[in-house]
Structure 1
Amino acid sequence: MANTEGLTQPATAVRKPSGAVKIFYSLGQMAQGGGFDTAVGFIFFYYSAVLGLSGALVGAALAIGLAFDGGVDPLVGSWSDNLKSRLGRRLPFMIGSIPLVALSLGLLFSPPSGLSQWGLFAWLTVLAVATRTFASVFNVPYLALAAEMTTDSAERTSLVVYRSVAGITAGLICTALGYVVFFADGGLQRPEGYPGYGWSVAILLAVAMSLCCLGVWRYAASLPQPEPATGGLVTRLPGEVAEIFRNRSFRVLFLSAVIMFSAMGLNATLNSHAFVFVWRMRTETIQFIGYAYLAGLLLGVGFAPLLQKLMEKKTLIVLGISLLMANWLVLQGLRVMGLWAPVGDDAILPMMSNSFVAGIGTGLAMVAYPAMMADAADEHELLFGRRREGLYFAGLGFANKAASGIGVMLAGIALDLVRFPRDVSQQVGVILPEDVQVRLVMIWGPAAAVVCTISLVILMAYGISRARHAEIAVALQKVRG
């Protein structure tokens, strides 16, 4: 008999996980985002501005890692969709990935000394592929599990909020750990702090991921496990992927996400370069920009459920992306035109305000996108007769990673095109030529905003409204009997 511990409703009612289950589940966001993304965000700066690897090679290595990872997502998604075990469909993957994520992340921050340009490129490429791949083995089932834990649209939004808050908290911890402990006093440009930081975050992630699995295993084991599809994984996967792309709602969300994440990847990759070499901030003050972003992110995530009651999820994403684009256009545009060029401590408050607005916008979008993807997965069951949560969230993950890889690669190529110097390691306070600074700001802000407008245009075609999802839910209930 299935174990129903953690359920607040009978098995025949709408599934609603308890508060404790939600809290433990949310801890997995450290691997899906939060701590993981915060840590990996230092890698581009570390290898290019500290270790002196060509920007194009850094971008190519990280893009290869993201692209390879994106290809793994549908494999893991389909495999977990069709697994049956006493722990449910998702937990075996999540548990097995934990030591692999921690080991590969620590090694990513610990390249051997004395490597040549190509040796360093090879190390970065191999570890970027490994880290991202092992993280996906956790992330794809983790996200798909949320769509299974409840069929109620509001509860799904609640789960996204729980894990988003956990991710923001993890990002705050990992940001402070870096700037306060390992990168203080100009330490961003010194190589000795990075290995200790990487291994510290790896341990933190392993603990959080383990607690997530321990806290949800009874609930996950009690969830329905549909009969697996016939045929081997490799032979059936192409047909399954083709099937999800037959759903117009999935296509719209996928394409919109690819373009939005490309813009975000381009911008985020160059954050440290802009703060250090354009706005000339001290390492110990850059952390406050990160805190402002996380505060805005928390506000956006917290208000998203309330706003969702007043507007459609699609409208919520439009609002979020618009705020994000404002962060990329206003102050950067003034800097490019020569109308506003504060440096050092004078730039802190304006950049904190800018980052706070970006955080709000990102928070709104990060709640709405997964909730919309879960709704599209319900529509898929109605249209095609099978649940494909794993593949749907693998698609969202693929969009994120492939697009981020494009953004990272473009950022690396851009650094070489603007003739960013490779010999700035440990040269705290170095001032770049004005034309290099202007071109760097153009790529960092306005260029990313232009790309993001395409995402908004595509998103307008998404058609699952609140009323339409209610119709889908009723129809599914009739089909399931």
Structure 2
Amino acid sequence: MALSLGQKAGWGLADMGIVVFVVVKQLLVLVFLTSVLGVPVGIAGFVTTAVLIFDMITDPLVGHYSDRTHSRFGRRAPWMAVGAVVMAAGMAALFAVPDGLPLAGDLAWVIAFFGVATIGFTMVAIPFSAQAGEMTQDPRERSAMTGWRMGFASVGILIGGALVPGLAANMGYAMAAVAVSPLIIGAIWISLFATRKAPRLAQDAPIPLKEAYRLVFNNRAFMVLAALYGVMTLAIALITAGLPFAAIYLIVDAGDNALSGVAEALTTLSLMFAAFVVGSIVSQAFWVRLSNQIGKLAALQGGLVLYVTLLCGLFSVLPSVNVTAMAGMFVLAGFANGSYQQIPWALYPDLMDVTRAKTGAAIEGAFSAVWLFGQKLANALAPLVLGLFLQAAGWLETTAGVVTQEPSAITMLHVAITLIPAAILVVSLLGLALVYRPLAQAALGR
């Protein structure tokens, strides 16, 4: 049975709530620890990394047990409905540190509730991703679903990146988290309601955890794609980690071009961020259409080639004093980024079908846990990699917001957000062409 437009869009809506939480934890937790609680940056970084490692440990467990869940609402909905509340409550609580605690008490509080929020996130994200493999087995429908998903995800990025920091500055971190909690929970619950009558694979997976993941690892095409998606994510995460520095040191508003007033009102960083997200949003329908016309893999390769070309173009024009031209470039970069956002997420459910057809095991949750592992690992490594590059080039720290940097440090920043990500994307392109394509053709027969 074909999915309705409301079911496709309704499924994608959940990712708006998920992404708001992701952006909040990426933007605010570290600065809250260092700027509000006074935690040394080294300890604060260790805390966030430790929680991330804990998150990776819980992924395979949630994926496995969501595969085995029995309920009249299906296998995934109970996890997502409860997880949404756990995620939002943990997020609000981690910022509500009681006054008067010693430093150790502050850290214990944040670690505990950050861990709770992360468990809630995993309870939502993995079952949600698994739904793409069980609601439909039509590759075209999966492309459309993923297009809706990434469109809503981009809206979530705008909300989390533009609204929440402003709320935190005006009403405090805890109240800002409380204010957006209904949006997070509501998006996920409305998604569950919109898809309540969508087709489901009623079959469970009564096999041990070890056997489930053995089947996943034996799907060579899927494992290669998951690894290559992690490589792509490392490139994108390097750009994201370096963007705040680029907005200070590489993109300087001369005050005499069309968007100078906007850059002054929003800050250059917010303008570039918004331009990137707008490009991503408007690209989603294009990548769905192109995937249907020439195939998902060819469309993804085309998007990555465009991305590499734009990064090389950015290298040639930076540093720049023209924020209008830079905003246009970032719109195009966001457009290219839409292919990375959307198409791999539409590809990997097709590969889950191969294992189900061969073994009869419906283990979409296990597949989704492995898929997300590479993405999480890359997002964790990118700030460390960027920091090591900048430190080696003599980057100077400051509490004043900006300081005169050595030319070698500026050059390294310049290269680290353009040519290095471009080179990483070229590696992923070669992997797709030389390793993934033959495996996928053999597995899918096309």
> How do 1:66-81 residues align onto structure 2 when only pairs under 5 Å count?
66-81=52-67
* Contact 1:276–1:283, Cα closer than 8 Å, also in 2: no
Picking from 199, 224, 241, the partner of 1:252 is 224
Please give the alpha-carbon distance, in whole angstroms, between the structure 1 residues aligned to 2:378 and 2:196: 32
TM-superposed CA distance for 1:40, in Å, is 3.2
Please give the alpha-carbon distance, in whole angstroms, between the structure 2 residues aligned to 1:419 and 1:134: 40
TM-score under structure 2 length normalisation: 0.84
Q: Could you tell me which residue of structure 2 aligns to residue 154 of structure 1?
A: 140
Amino acid at match of 1:306: R
Q: Could you tell me which residue of structure 1 aligns to residue 239 of structure 2?
A: 267
TM-superposed CA distance for 1:147, in Å, is 1.6
Q: Between 353-362 and 132-141, report the one with greater CA deviation.
A: 353-362
> How do 1:80-479 residues align onto structure 2 when only pairs under 5 Å count?
80-109=66-95, 126-178=112-164, 181-182=166-167, 194-219=173-198, 223-230=200-207, 236-279=208-251, 282=264, 284-285=266-267, 286-332=269-315, 334-335=317-318, 341-342=319-320, 346-414=321-389, 423-424=398-399, 427=400, 430-435=402-407, 436-460=409-433, 461-463=435-437
Please give the alpha-carbon distance, in whole angstroms, between the structure 2 residues aligned to 1:466 and 1:384: 18
- Give structure 1 stretches of 5+ with no counterpart: 1-14, 231-235, 336-340, 473-481
CA distance change for structure 1 residues 114 and 330 in 2, over 3 Å: closer, same or farther? farther
CA distance change for structure 1 residues 333 and 434 in 2, over 3 Å: closer, same or farther? farther
Please give the alpha-carbon distance, in whole angstroms, between the structure 2 residues aligned to 1:301 and 1:442: 29
Q: Could you tell me which residue of structure 1 aligns to residue 259 of structure 2?
A: none
Amino acid at match of 1:229: P
**What percent of counterpart residues are identical?**
22
Amino acid at match of 1:205: I
CA distance change for structure 1 residues 138 and 198 in 2, over 3 Å: closer, same or farther? same
> RCO (CA 8 Å, sep 6+): is it higher in 1 or 2?
1
TM-superposed CA distance for 1:247, in Å, is 1.3
Please give the alpha-carbon distance, in whole angstroms, between the structure 2 residues aligned to 1:151 and 1:87: 20
Please give the alpha-carbon distance, in whole angstroms, between the structure 2 residues aligned to 1:89 and 1:53: 41
TM-superposed CA distance for 1:407, in Å, is 1.5
CA distance change for structure 1 residues 372 and 103 in 2, over 3 Å: closer, same or farther? same
RMSD value, Cα: 3.3
Q: Could you tell me which residue of structure 2 aligns to residue 5 of structure 1?
A: none
Please give the alpha-carbon distance, in whole angstroms, between the structure 1 residues aligned to 2:417 and 2:96: 28
Q: Deviations over 1:207-264 (max 9, x none)?
A: 2122222332343xx623214314xxxxx22222122111111121111012111222
TM-superposed CA distance for 1:377, in Å, is 0.6
* Contact 1:249–1:376, Cα closer than 8 Å, also in 2: yes
Amino acid at match of 1:463: R
* Contact 2:143–2:288, Cα closer than 8 Å, also in 1: yes
CA distance change for structure 1 residues 199 and 327 in 2, over 3 Å: closer, same or farther? farther
TM-superposed CA distance for 1:142, in Å, is 0.7
Amino acid at match of 2:223: R
SS at match of 1:79: helix
TM-score under structure 1 length normalisation: 0.78
* Contact 1:80–1:90, Cα closer than 8 Å, also in 2: yes
- Give structure 2 stretches of 5+ with no counterpart: 254-263
Q: Deviations over 1:390-413 (max 9, x none)?
A: 122222111111221122333455
CA distance change for structure 1 residues 206 and 464 in 2, over 3 Å: closer, same or farther? farther
* Contact 1:260–1:451, Cα closer than 8 Å, also in 2: yes
CA distance change for structure 1 residues 251 and 23 in 2, over 3 Å: closer, same or farther? closer
Is residue 2:37 matched to residue 1:37?
no
Aligned residues: 432
Q: Could you tell me which residue of structure 1 aligns to residue 261 of structure 2?
A: none
Q: Deviations over 1:58-80 (max 9, x none)?
A: 54443333333223222111111
CA distance change for structure 1 residues 352 and 54 in 2, over 3 Å: closer, same or farther? farther
